[in-house]
Structure 1
Amino acid sequence: MIRVLLADDEAMIRSALAALLRLEDDIDVVAECADGQQAVEEALRLQPDVCLLDLEMPHLDGVQVAERLKRTPATRCIIVTRHARPGVLRRALESGVAGFLPKSRGADEVAAVIRRIAAGARYVDPEIAADALSDERSPLTARELDVLRAGRRGETSEQIARTLSLAPGTVRNHVSAVLAKLAVDSRQQATLLAEERGWL
């Protein structure tokens, strides 16, 4: 049996997919989680073969969950998302995610991907892969992206500086560079643009 943990903050989607996967002879849904933090805790406790993770969840997103489970090599992660932005795919693959597919796929296709991932293969939806090949790369440095990430909820330069162990002036310099590179007027606009492009 392939032991699967399912994490999605939309209860109806989560329970419907769990019910459909339980109809498969070789798949056992061992946990259903409503947010990323719960998914990490349950995955560490239960050590499932595969974690099927929604990309956008409260507390931790699917990629952040996968990053935290990297030290659990027996568990492999698949990201499912409604908005499959190519930049997010790159971030997911860098985090050790083994599979990536859109939510538009049927339960039988999801089950087939679960089997492939459990057998040690990787899977990326062909349409997403094609988009990723043609997508522009981020012009921002890793540190500039860190600054945007740390200020996602409107934190001040001083708060970002403390989070990243930087001087506030250094943070302001990074923000100025980001605004110039992205041709936007505010850090909030820069963050939204970076999220839309899948760089964050």
Structure 2
Amino acid sequence: MIRVLLADDQALVRGALAALLGLEGDLDVVAEVGRGDEVLDAARSSNAEVCLLDIEMPGLDGIEVAGKLARELPDVRSLIVTTFGRPGYLRSALEAGASGFVVKDTPATELAEAVRRVRRGERVVDPALAAESIAGGNNPLTDRERDVLRAALDGVPVAAIASAVHLSQGTVRNYLSSAIGKTGTTTRVEAARRAQQNGWI
């Protein structure tokens, strides 16, 4: 039996995944959590072998959790299962240490097979996303540009962004200008949204 942990902040999704995977004779859902910062403790106490992680969760996001698992519990594999099939997320997840990345509309039999393959040490990636990721290239934004764009997502004034990221307004304007150029957009809100759509922030 492969011992599986499910981490998703939506109880309905967790329940559906547990029910689907429970139909497989060789998969055993041994733990379910709703927060990213609960995964490591739950993985340890349940002796989970594969953790299915959503990306957007309170506490820690799935990519951060995959990184922690890779560092602290290297024998435990992580498989990102998300609604957010963005090429930048795929790249970030694999770089963090995730063994696989699939979207939530993956058929149940394919998801079960992905769990088996990840447990065997294989890497499993949604083929369409992989192609998109290669076509899209690397994230062109620096860490600081990403910080500034995250703060700009809601369309707040430059002063509010500067306060949020602890930089001067002039420095924020420089980062925004650079990010707008790199994303091929014309405003800071467009740049932030383009970066979010690509999974760069």
Fold similarity call, TM over 0.5: yes
Assess, with a 3 A threshold, how the Cα gap between structure 1 residues 41 and 184 changes in structure 2: closer, same or farther: farther
1:97-176 equivalent positions in 2, closer than 5 A: 97-149=98-150, 156-161=161-166, 170-176=171-177
Match of 2:53 in 1: 53
Match of 2:80 in 1: 79
Matched AA of 2:36: G
1:10 is the counterpart of 2:15: no
Describe the superposition over 1:129-186 as per-residue Cα deviations: whole angstroms up to 9, x where unpaired.
Answer: 122222244332243224434666766313312xxxx677544432332234333323
Q: Is the 8 A contact 1:151 1:160 kept in 2?
A: no
Q: Is the 8 A contact 1:47 1:74 kept in 2?
A: no
How far apart are 1:23 and its partner, in Å?
A: 2.5
Q: Is the 8 A contact 1:9 1:58 kept in 2?
A: yes
Assess, with a 3 A threshold, how the Cα gap between structure 1 residues 46 and 147 changes in structure 2: closer, same or farther: farther
Describe the superposition over 1:91-147 as per-residue Cα deviations: whole angstroms up to 9, x where unpaired.
Answer: 111111101111111222111111111111111122221222222443322432244
Unaligned runs of 5+ in 1: none
Q: Is the 8 A contact 1:50 1:117 kept in 2?
A: yes
Assess, with a 3 A threshold, how the Cα gap between structure 1 residues 41 and 195 changes in structure 2: closer, same or farther: farther
| In 1: Cα distance, 2:151 partner to 2:28 partner | 38
Q: How many residues align?
A: 195
Q: Is the 8 A contact 1:44 1:69 kept in 2?
A: no
Assess, with a 3 A threshold, how the Cα gap between structure 1 residues 167 and 70 changes in structure 2: closer, same or farther: farther
Q: TM-score, normalised by structure 2?
A: 0.83
Match of 2:186 in 1: 184
Matched AA of 2:101: F
Assess, with a 3 A threshold, how the Cα gap between structure 1 residues 147 and 156 changes in structure 2: closer, same or farther: closer
Match of 2:23 in 1: 23
Secondary structure of the corresponding residue to residue 4 of structure 1 = strand
Assess, with a 3 A threshold, how the Cα gap between structure 1 residues 36 and 15 changes in structure 2: closer, same or farther: same
| In 2: Cα distance, 1:111 partner to 1:194 partner | 32
| In 1: Cα distance, 2:59 partner to 2:190 partner | 22
Deviates more, 1:152-161 or 1:98-107: 152-161
| In 2: Cα distance, 1:172 partner to 1:121 partner | 44
Secondary structure of the corresponding residue to residue 143 of structure 1 = helix
Q: Is the 8 A contact 2:162 2:168 kept in 1?
A: no
| In 2: Cα distance, 1:31 partner to 1:168 partner | 46
| In 2: Cα distance, 1:152 partner to 1:5 partner | 33
Unaligned runs of 5+ in 2: none
